[in-house]
Structure 1
């Protein structure tokens, strides 16, 4: 089921809801990853429902069937608009439920979730980061330079296969022999094939999208910014040990250290041996669902 919210610039936000039949004890808002869409989270949402967790989520700008331009947040201030959309959603969900609220972000969505917690952490009772990473901002500054050159070459809105290749081209190299170009997502071939055959997954994004995204990553990689997350906010970080986005675990541990060193006192993490980027779509997905719901129900009170 879904309802429609209206963003400040007139964009319609289609808010999807998965509601448990029993009493709602917690509520979770989902922030999905790059070049995918919110309906892919239904299996996870239903597992959350079974634990008494209501789940809400919407497609980020530039994603899903309603996107005017796939892979393009906005012509200007895209990162800020995405954060604004999420704030609108969280305020709406908080009106509907008076139970603890957890923000779950995967991959790109995990970085959006970090930015949200920096700005509005007082509205959250828990934060979950999946398939995430921490790197020094110099990496993002270099990517910004390349994106600016590409914007001049092809325009702000055009899908950039070059930036797509530069960003994701190396992710599959460690998985040999490769069955597809998307093996890095999961060990489960059925899930990989679903992704490949989905018209709303795996598309290249625009130079302006990358500039917006990099500006966000530069911001959240600053210790002074992460320090704005409330120190008592419970945070759970999980990832596959073979996830190239998390640098095979190194980037995930760096993220945990970055957050703990910035003052957060309740940070837990888990790395799954052999797991790849999308742990919610991995061969041990049910174990991951149980771990996430157990963390929510035991930690967030």
Structure 2
């Protein structure tokens, strides 16, 4: 595998052994609504392809640095950025006052147009980022050479419509920019049930206590989100739960799903298997799924994170052959 990778990228064995990862650089990205945000770029002098990583809810893109560095060392360019309302993009937990789902997806398009135009692109989305990645692939799937979805889920649009109705009612009384503890409890309140007695309220993220503690101690992680973000997100989830919309993703695009077997976001594997089936039923010919035994939501911060990073690299190598 490594020899084939080196032959494709033009890197000899000796050169490959000498390559060290370069630190990420920051690049200003202009948005379609005249904002500017910063993208992280782990560049490579002769990239095989570009890997675009999109993070999940209430976290930020720099948490993916170990994966980005490993992919860079293997010959890939890696780009990532914070979604609106995440990391350094304020107000915290808020996409926009309107059209938030569309604007978040358009930010991804701007990153790819400005940083990835000269190479094949593989999109990797985690959790909320996996949902946004599906929305992107529905619109711009012809830009992609592969799609990787981490910690994802699939269920009936009815559940999402009910959630959106609750958020809309709360918005009438509290305003769209209110960071909603009610929506947070309704969405995540039961996630720790399987892990009682729980050490923290975020035990569902990982079996690795150190990683859970880092998440809790990070001021850019674990925050609540606004009612308008929830309305936007539920609207996006309704969109991607429709088989007719999933059918707009190119049928021959390689798609790999992976998750922890005990991930409550993916209904302990049930929702991930349902997503694989929904994609297969909508005409996709190359969909595979891996569930890691005993693991929880953040596979890149799990006890077997090194194994998962290597498997991601293996899958990417297969996708760009």
In the superposition, the TM-score normalised over structure 2's length comes to 0.91
Q: Which residue of 2 aligns with 1:150?
A: 170
Q: Structure 1 stretches of 5 or more lacking a match?
A: none
**Cα pair 1:101 1:125 within 8 Å, conserved:** yes
The whole-number CA distance in structure 2 between the counterparts of 1:116 and 1:231 is: 15
Match of 1:176 in 2: 196
> Could you say what the CA RMSD is over the residues aligned between the two structures, in angstroms?
1.0
CA distance in 1, matches of 2:302, 2:220: 20
Aligned partners of 1:125, 1:143: CA distance in 2, in Å?
A: 33
Q: Secondary structure at the match of 1:129?
A: strand
2:16 is matched with which residue?
Answer: none
Q: Do 2:269 and 2:291's aligned partners in 1 also have CA atoms closer than 8 Å?
A: yes
**Count of paired positions:** 297
Q: Distance in 1 between matches of 2:90 and 2:293?
A: 39
Q: Whose radius of gyration is greater, 1 or 2?
A: 2
Deviation at 1:216, TM superposition (A): 0.4
1:3 aligned partner:
27
How many angstroms apart in 2 are the aligned matches of 1:258 and 1:175? 29
| Correspondence for 1:49 among 68, 72, 86 | 72
How does 1:156-167 map onto structure 2 within 5 Å? 156-167=176-187
Matches within 5 A, 1:129-144: 129-144=149-164
Q: Deviation digits for residues 161-194 of structure 1, max 9, x if unmatched? A: 1111110010011012201000000000111000
Q: TM-score, normalised by structure 1?
A: 0.97
2:289 to 269, 283, 286: 269
Shift, 1:68, TM fit: 2.4
Q: What's the secondary structure of 1:157's corresponding residue?
A: coil
Q: 1:152 offset after TM fit, Å?
A: 1.7
Instruction: Say if 2:131 is the partner of 1:108.
Output: no
State whether residues 26 and 297 of structure 1, in contact with CA within 8 Å, keep that contact through their aligned partners in structure 2. Answer: no
Alignment partners' CA distance in 2, 1:156 and 1:208: 5
* Aligned mates of 2:90, 2:149 — CA distance in 1: 28
- Separation of aligned partners in 2, 1:30 and 1:134: 20
Q: Paired residue for 1:17, among 41, 45, 50?
A: 41
- Alignment partners' CA distance in 2, 1:92 and 1:233: 23
* Residue 50 of structure 1: how far off its partner (Å): 2.2
For residue 238 of structure 2, give the secondary structure of its aligned residue in structure 1.
helix
* Residue in 1 that maps onto 2:97: 75
- Is the Cα–Cα contact under 8 Å of residues 145 and 319 in structure 2 kept in the other structure? no
Bigger relative contact order, structure 1 or 2 (CA pairs below 8 A, ≥6 apart): 1
Work out the CA distance in 2 between the residues paired with 1:53 and 1:280. 18
> d(CA) in 2 for partners of 1:296 and 1:228?
22
Alignment partner, residue 202 of structure 1? 222
Query: Which consecutive unaligned segments of at least 5 residues does structure 2 have?
Result: 1-24
Contact 1:172 1:182 in 2 (8 A): yes
2:84 maps to which residue? 61
